[in-house]
Amino acid sequence: MKARYLGIPAILAAAMATSSFSPVLAQDSYTIGVSNTVQGNGWREEMICAIKAQALAAGNVESLNIAHRNTDAAGQLEDLRNLIDAGVDAIVVNPSNPEGINAALKEATDAGIVVVAVDQAVSEPSAYVISNNQEEYAYLGAKWLFEQLGGEGDVIYMRGAAGASADDDRDTGFKKALAEFPNINVAQEVFTGWQQDQGKQQILDYIATGIPFDGIWTSGIDNVIVDALVESEVDLVPVVGADNAGFVGQLSSVDGLVGAAVTNPGSIGGAGITLALNILGGETPGERTVLVQPELWENATDGGKANLAAAADPSLDPEWPVSISIPDWTTYSKDQIIGCKGPGE
């Protein structure tokens, strides 16, 4: 089970030195607002379910007010202001971009509402951020891929959503690795929008050109990329993706596939609930930003194969990350996150 969970990052350890940082169970009962701008994406759905499960497990959340729809920064500003008007005690938000919703975040904190951004950073200084380390996510996977190719070759770079801070951070990490391998060439760079159908069609279109390539780095749209390679009956190339259940399974079951999964748990949403409740209970972290560090599981070594076997969970939706919990941040059970029910549901 150890391989399925992430350790406490150094920045969190530093924060804990100045605060007990354990989940608090204050006597008060809270209402927490949630704002998310992407639907139909397995990672985001797991994030919402983790939010619900942690709110239920915490025992001191009376209700959740969830705005969960496909929209842009303007739409998210509207959703956030509706949550402010509703008088929530805290807001957990996955931001559409790092600056576009700052006005509403400032309005919320001015009104005494605790704001916690999850998954992606915001630049509003009054907000807290708890996120997977997106720059390191990209760097770890890209470096492994470039080393797997012997330091030379043509790779396809499949990014997330243009303008999203997580994508910007991952681009920084990818280019950091790229700078260390001057003989690696990016043959094509595309934005998948973190949409499965879009990413699969993009790789199919590139395969149809007949232009050779040596590896693929994906921003978490991974199992459908492997499906496209298999269905096209082309030679398999090394693929880097996230710890999504489908891709983790493929790394152990698809003959000839070499690849690596980098952890990026959607359960960070549940961690956001814990952080918000801690702050409401009077316990604040030593830093405004807390990062959860990723791990890389690859199938090119016996040790990596063992990690993948320990992490695999075919009972999960293929698009859900297998890292369904984060130690010290989430306390719900597997049944609770899969059940996806919050307080009062």
Mean pLDDT for 75-89 is 97
Q: Which residue has the higher pLDDT, 174 or 286?
A: 174
3-state secondary structure of 306: helix
Q: Select from 224, 216, 228 the least CA-distant residue to 188.
A: 216
Band (pLDDT 50/70/90 cuts) for residue 12 is very low
Band (pLDDT 50/70/90 cuts) for residue 27 is very low
Per the structure, the complete domain to which residue 34 belongs is given by 2-132+265-294
- 76 and 109 in a common domain: yes
Q: Following DSSP, what letter does each residue of 145-196 receive, concatenated?
A: HHHHTTT-EEEEEEE--TT-HHHHHHHHHHHHHHHT-TTEEEEEEEE-TT-H
- 152 and 41 in a common domain: no
- 249 and 103 in a common domain: no
**To which residue do tokens 């790229």 refer?**
178
- 142 and 20 in a common domain: no
- With both helix axes pointing from N to C terminus, report the angle between 165-179 and 134-148 in degrees, rounded to the nearest 10: 40
- 167 and 103 in a common domain: no
- Say if 66 falls within a structural domain: yes
What pTM, to 2 d.p., does this model score? Answer: 0.89
Mean pLDDT for 7-17 is 35
| Alpha-carbon distances, residue 187 vs 58, 125, 184, 235, 311 (angstroms) | 48, 38, 9, 17, 32
- 258 and 145 in a common domain: yes
- 217 and 71 in a common domain: no
CATH number (domain holding residue 83): 3.40.50.2300
- 102 and 183 in a common domain: no
pLDDT confidence of residue 238: 98
- Say if 312 falls within a structural domain: no
- 170 and 278 in a common domain: no
Q: What is the pLDDT of residues 314-344, one digit of tens each?
A: 999 999 999 999 999 999 999 999 999 999 9
- 165 and 143 in a common domain: yes
Q: What is the pLDDT of residues 267-286, one digit of tens each?
A: 999 999 999 999 999 998 88
Q: Are 67 and 79 in contact (CB under 8 A)?
A: yes
Please give the single-letter amino acid code of residue 326. I
Looking at 275, 294, 313, the residue that finishes a domain is 294
Q: Which residue has the higher pLDDT, 136 or 164?
A: 136
Number of domains in the chain: 2
Q: What is the pLDDT of residues 51-66, one digit of tens each?
A: 999 999 999 999 999 9
- Say if 111 falls within a structural domain: yes
